[in-house]
Structures are given as C-alpha cells and as structure tokens.
Structure 1
Amino acid sequence: MDLLALADFNLVARHGGFGRAARAAGRPKATLSRRVAELEASLDLRLFERGTRALKLTEEGRALYERTGALLTEIDETAAAIAAGGDRPRGRLRISAPLLFSQIAMGKLAAEFAIKYPEVRLEITTEDRAVDMVEEGYDLVIRVNPEPDESLVGRIFLRDRLVAVASPAVTRPTDNEVVPAVVRGAGDQGPVWDAMTSAGRLRFTVDPILRLSSMIMVRDAVRVGAGAACLPISLVSHDLAAGTLVHWGDVDGPEIALWTLYPSRRLLSARVSAFLQHLKEAFPKGTPDELAAYIGA
C-alpha cells in the first residue's frame, strides 16, 4: 500500500472534503483527488461517496480511516523526532489542560518532565474552554472529548468511564427510586441515570441536592455521605478498594477520552514531541487503571 496515498486519504477524510483538505495542506485539489482515486483502485474499494455537494466516507472508508489515522500520527511523530537531530528539547512549552486532569495528575507529570528536560521552560494553564492555540500561543492542548477541528490533529492518550458511587451510609436504591445526588455544575448529568450493575440494568431518578464546580469537590461531598454521584472510575478507584465508597454501577454515556491536540503534525517541535512521549511513558496503555495508579503512586 502506498503510504503517501494513504496519508492523503486521511487528510481528505479528516477535513471532510478535497477542497478543505487542499486549502489546509497547501496542496492542489486535483492531486489529492488523483491520489485517493489511485488508493481506491489499488484496494479495489470505494472509500468515499461523492455527491454533488458533499463527500462522505463509505463504511470501508471509515474503517480504514479509524484504523490508520493513529498509526500515521505515530509515524509522523517518530519522523519529526528523528528530523530534530536528537537535539535536547529546550525553550518555552505552553500547554492548556482541563481542570480535573490538572488537579489529579499534571503537577506530578510537569515536575517529572521538568526534571527530565531542565532546558525546557514548561508553562501549564488550567481551563476547560476550547482555547485558540494559535491566537493564545499554546504549543499543545489536552482536552476531554473535543469537538472535531480541521485545524488540529492529535491522538487519544487516556480513556476513562463514569461510575455511580455513594458512601456506604447511603442506601442503594431500587429501580426508578429517587436518589439524592451531588452533581458538577448546573448542567452536568440529566435527571435520570442508567447504570449497569451485577444484577442488571438499574435506573436512578436523581434529586440534585448539591451542585459543585469541580469533580474533586463532588467526590469529597460523596465521601461524607451527601448523596450519590457520577464520577470517573480513576478518581474513585482507591475509595472503592478501601470501602469508603460503594460502586452502584457503570453509568451509560459516552466514553471519556483525553486527547492531545496540536496545530500540525508537520515540523513538530522537539519540546512537543518530548512531552507526547512523556505522556506515553506515563500511560502506555491509556487505561483508567493506569491513571488511578499514577494518581495514587
């Protein structure tokens, strides 16, 4: 398989069209169209449905994109590191990270990175909003389930999941029973939680008696016995093991995925490459258990 043609296919798939991909990469639209057509011919598969006004991945095209995108990112990151000539990373590195991940892990991660690369001046800001990397001068951002952005590329480095937990002092409800709950913010989690338990599916009707602005605060309130809460398993796994919290079930909902994002894979700086490798070494499998162990170590 032609890796260059595969890279062009991923470029078009990521941007959702030949025109937008050509503008983002500074490449001729006709060249991208020809390379994708050649890839389709070599695979004997149609990868895109070409309408008059829209371009849509076929089922085979989506499968190819999902399975090769991360691999191509790895190749580009490796090539960038080699192209840097092995020079030790140096200079300023600005990173934006979400609140919870910063509170539980970034202090330790940043300190380990600073010790490993003393010539890098690492600056980390904590915020959950979608920052403008170029306008605000960030080299790398970490985001939870980010919206697609054709100007950014990146990869998932950690996954987590939500669980319903409560203090042992709080009585486990029956199906559709009203549960006093501690929730994050004004809009997180709806009035009903569906959870999978060892006995089957259970639905909780939630009465939010307490609203707090951070997951750490929610966990602390639940420990005291204020009510139940939906929290990432990595944040409460030690409490569950110690018996200070009880697992009521795995909550239905989208997977929690933490992404590293940066403006371009091309000419990736040695500083960014080093931090990406630092994350990979800290969380080689990217599982909730790894994050929980890192927090507790």
Structure 2
Amino acid sequence: MNLDALADFNRVAADGGFSRASRRTGRPKATLSRRVRELENALGVRLIERDGKRFRLTEDGAALYQRTADLLNEVEEAGRMIAEGLDRPRGVLRVSAPILFSHSQLGRLAADFCRRYPEVRIEAVAEDRYVDLMAESFDVAIRVNPRAVDGDLLGRRIMRDHMVLVATPDLSRPPARELTRFPAVVVAAEREDAIWHLEGDGWTGTVEPYPVMRLPSYLVVRDAVLAGVGVALLPNTLAADEVAAGRLASWGAVPKREVEIWALHTSRRLVSRKVQAFMDFLVARFAASEYS
C-alpha cells in the first residue's frame, strides 16, 4: 500500500471532499483525485462514490478511514517530534578512543561536553584496536594517524603531537652529534633496532636505546621513567606537565615522528546532531591549544 496515497485519501475523507481538501492543503484537486484512484486500484475496491457534486465514502472507504486516520496522525506526529529533536543533540553517543587519549583527555572532554549538552549520554570504550564503526554501532572513533583503510569515513583532525625523549634531571644529555647508548623504557611495539635521532635547542644527537623494560602503554612508560629507570620516548602531551614541573627533562624531539589525532564518523548523508555537535566541540576545544 502506498502510504502517500493513503494519506491523501485520509485528507479527502476528513475534509468531506476533494475541493475542501485541496483548499486546506494547497494540493491540486486533480492530484488528490489521482492518488485516491491509485489507492483504489491497489486495493481493488471503491473507496469514494463520485456522483456530480455529491461526496460519500463507501463502506470500505469508511472502514479504511476509521482504521487508519489515528495511525497516520501518530506517524506524522512522530515525524515532527523527531525532526524537532534533531535541532538539539540528544541520545547515546558511543565513542571509541585509544587508551592513551582516553586516560589523558577523554574524561574532561566528556564531562564538559555533557554539561553543554545534558541530553547526550556518552558511552566510551578505551582500546587501541581499529573498530568497525557501523558493524559495532559506534558513532565516533578517535584515531591516531588514520590509515588509508579509513577512506570510507569522514573526519577532522583535532590535534597534533610529537615525540620527545625524556629522562630524570639527574641523567645528563649526551654530547651533540654523538651516538650514545642508554638504558631505555619502551612501549612493546617499539622496534628492536630503533635508533632515535634528536633535535632540540640547537642541539642534535643520536641515542641507541637499550630496552630494560618493554611496557604496554605510554602511561606506564612515563611512570617507569619517572622512577629513574632510564630514558623514554613519550608523546609531548604526556610529558609536558612533568617537564614543566621539573620531574623530567626533555632532551629533544624526534623528527618525522609527528602524530595526528583525528575524530572520524561514518559517511552517512545525514549526520546526527549529537555527532556533529561532538565533532565541532572537539575541534573547538583543541583549536586554541599548541597541539592544534
């Protein structure tokens, strides 16, 4: 059954004629008549008796109108409510984010966003794997250096970062332009044959890390290097507060180890208001920072 034709039939039935329905809705009388005729043909019954100026519903027409009028009104009302609701963000927003970003950033971000949009409830999952947004029903994924396979997603870069080599202040930085071997705390994914070339404050140097610990995340690496175990390569966002407080010293940045963090969502034609609001919020939050 064509619901548009059914809606036109109900308009005509409610107004008691094609002319009245045409005047009230602004739809041409001929269009209304054609749609009712299409509905009659589809159902195989006559719904309206047309005899000159007289208008009368048949028994089948009256039964159809009585059974469907309230239902169509409810459908139209639901559509209006949904359309009006799209003007403000609301509902559950499911977010996937890397563990480091989740632990260092996401808590404050989520709290501020929900204060601004109290009808949104954030459900976040902290994990470093690549989730399938559509298959796993995520609205937004935060990803570090998104790979080419993400080409079916839309997104915006929200921040940049770079890697710095840090150590406790009692450990001296090596002489410039020399290769120096140091005990190091590294993440599990770091290459066995890694060589770190450093630049900073007019100084350049090269460090060959000798891993004394391989740990699962940069957060754990930071805690270990604070304990004085050795040097460590950390994202600047994670090391900056410790360096500013004097608990760690930065020996320099590692060129070509820049990091971009993106927020991604599926490339649907109509992006939900809650997703659009969260994307705009993230971009605005980091725009004024040194990491934008």
Q: What TM-score range do you get, normalising by the shorter chain?
A: 0.5 to 0.7
Counterparts of 1:112-151 in structure 2 under 5 Å?
A: 112-148=112-148, 149-151=150-152
CA contact (8 A) 1:159 1:286 kept: no
* 2:281 aligned with 1:278: yes
Equivalent residue, structure 2, for 1:110: 110
State how far apart, in whole Å, the 1-side matches of 2:252 and 2:167 are: 10
Residue 262 of structure 1 is matched in structure 2 by 265
1:113 to partner: Cα distance: 1.5
Contact kept in structure 1, 2:185 and 2:232, CA below 8 Å = yes
Q: Name the counterpart of 2:185.
A: 182
Runs of 4+ in 1 over 6 A off after TM superposition: 83-86
Deviation at 1:242, TM superposition (A): 1.7
Secondary structure at the aligned position of 1:178 is classed as: strand
Q: Which residue of 2 aligns with 1:204?
A: 207
The residue type equivalent to 1:136 in the other structure is E
Distance 1:259 1:186, change over 3 A: closer
Write the letter of the residue equivalent to 1:157: I
Cα 1:136–1:85 change in 2 (3 A) is closer
What is the SS of the residue equivalent to 1:136? coil
Q: Distance in 1 between matches of 2:278 and 2:191?
A: 31
Give the conservation status (yes or no) of the 8 Å contact 1:157–1:286.
no
Q: CA deviation at 1:92?
A: 1.4
Q: Which amino acid aligns with 1:196?
A: E
Matched letter for residue 287 of structure 1: E
Alignment of 1:97 with 2:93, yes or no, is no
Secondary structure at the counterpart of residue 171 of structure 1: coil
Moved more, 140-149 or 198-207: 198-207
Separation in 1, partners of 2:234, 2:240: 10
Q: Deviations over 1:205-243 (max 9, x none)?
A: 110111111111111111111111111111111221221
SS at match of 2:243: helix
| Unaligned segments of structure 1, at least 5 residues | 1-82, 291-297
* TM-aligned CA deviation for residue 190 of structure 1: 4.6
1:203, CA displacement in angstroms? Answer: 0.7
Give the Cα separation in 1 of the matches to 2:101 and 2:191: 17
Alignment size in residue pairs: 207
The two structures have a TM-score, normalised by structure 1, of 0.65
CA contact (8 A) 2:163 2:233 kept: yes
Whether contact under 8 Å (1:96, 1:140) holds in the other structure is yes
TM-score, L = length of structure 2:
0.66
Distance (whole Å) between structure 2 residues aligned to residue 176 and residue 286 of structure 1: 34
CA contact (8 A) 1:193 1:252 kept: no
Which of 227, 233, 240 is equivalent to 2:230? 227
One-letter code aligned to 2:259: I
Q: Secondary structure at the match of 1:128?
A: coil
> Is the radius of gyration larger for structure 1 or structure 2?
2
For the residue of structure 1 that corresponds to 2:205, the secondary structure is strand
CA distance in 2, matches of 1:85, 1:124: 23
Shift in alpha-carbon separation, 1:262–1:286, aligned structure 2, 3 A: farther
| 1:178-222 deviation per Cα after TM superposition (whole angstroms, max 9, x unaligned) | 111110114358521000132432111110111111111111111
Determine the C-alpha separation between the residues in 2 that align with 1:221 and 1:144: 23
Query: Which amino acid in 2 is paired with 1:229?
Result: A
Structure 2 distance, partners of 1:251, 1:96, is: 28
2:222 partner SS: helix
Q: Deviations over 1:220-268 (max 9, x none)?
A: 1111111111111111112212211111111122320000111116211
Q: Which residue does 1:214 correspond to in 2?
A: 217
Contact persistence 2:185–2:215 (CA under 8 A): yes
SS of corresponding position for 1:165: strand
1:156 aligns with 2:157: yes
2:242 aligned to which of 239, 246, 266: 239
CA distance in 2, matches of 1:259, 1:188: 25
Find the aligned partners of 2:134 and 2:90 in 1 and give their Cα distance.
Answer: 20
Determine if contact 1:183/1:189 at 8 Å carries over to the other structure: no
